[in-house]
Amino acid sequence: MQNNQITISLNHKIINVNNITFSYNQKEDRLIFTINHLQIDERIDFFVTRRMLIKLLEAFDTILINYCDNGKLFKELYNNQKKLDINIFTDNKNIKNNEKPNNIAWENSMDVNELDFTKIKEAILLDSLSYKITNNNIKFKYISNNKVLAISNLDINMYQKTLSSMMRVIPFISWGISPKILD
């Protein structure tokens, strides 16, 4: 997911985030939020547990209802997209059933093996995510071990786009979560 509005604090240095990639690690049974997957020295991976995801979805729903016209853009995007297939590659050489992927302007499908190939550090467990809304912007703080590791600033529309993309990788059935949780 392309987005130049996000920054991350790593080793007391503020790093501009060029992209966010959402994936599911079946072995760990966790979502992974990968920031800057192609920039090895500026990359960070956050593990997100089922329990944390449920808390996040509750907060995300509150934001959608109170600040995003009841999630109008999110619902339109989410309802019109297909679930991501982990077999889709960004170079389109290995498209399942020889179909074109359902890419959306701000998204690029990629092979999860490519994410692993560029990974040099272990993922960090996301313990908490706090947010503050000012005007039409949302500032998120990503917290692990009582330390703020990343900060992102999204406008309302980019927040809804980002959320719709994240929702595509959630293992709803195996985690006992309704795909319509944010309706």
Structural domain boundaries in the chain: 2-175
Q: Where does residue 92 fall: left (phi above 0), alpha (psi -120 to 50 degrees), or beta otherwise?
A: left
Instruction: Give pTM, 2 decimals.
Output: 0.76
122 phi/psi in degrees, rounded to 5: -70, 150
Q: In what order do the strands lie in the sheet with 124-125?
A: 124-125, 44-48, 30-35, 13-25, 2-10, 147-155, 137-144, 128-134
* CA-to-CA dists, residue 34 to 1, 65, 146, angstroms: 10, 27, 20
Question: Which two three-digit tokens encode residue 178?
Answer: 């309704």
Residue 57 has what pLDDT? Answer: 95
Residue 60 has what pLDDT? Answer: 96
Cα separation, 113 vs 116, whole angstroms: 5
Question: Which two three-digit tokens encode residue 58?
Answer: 């509750």
Cβ atoms of 92 and 117 within 8 Å: the answer is: no
3-class secondary structure, 75: helix
Four-CA torsion 52, 54, 55, 61, nearest 10 degrees: 140
Residue 159 has what pLDDT? Answer: 93
98 phi/psi in degrees, rounded to 5: 55, 30
Residue 87 has what pLDDT? Answer: 39
Four-CA torsion 146, 26, 54, 151, nearest 10 degrees: 40
Q: Mark the ranges of the chain whose per-residue pLDDT is less than 50.
A: 1-4, 9, 12, 14, 85-106
- Please count the residues of the chain: 183
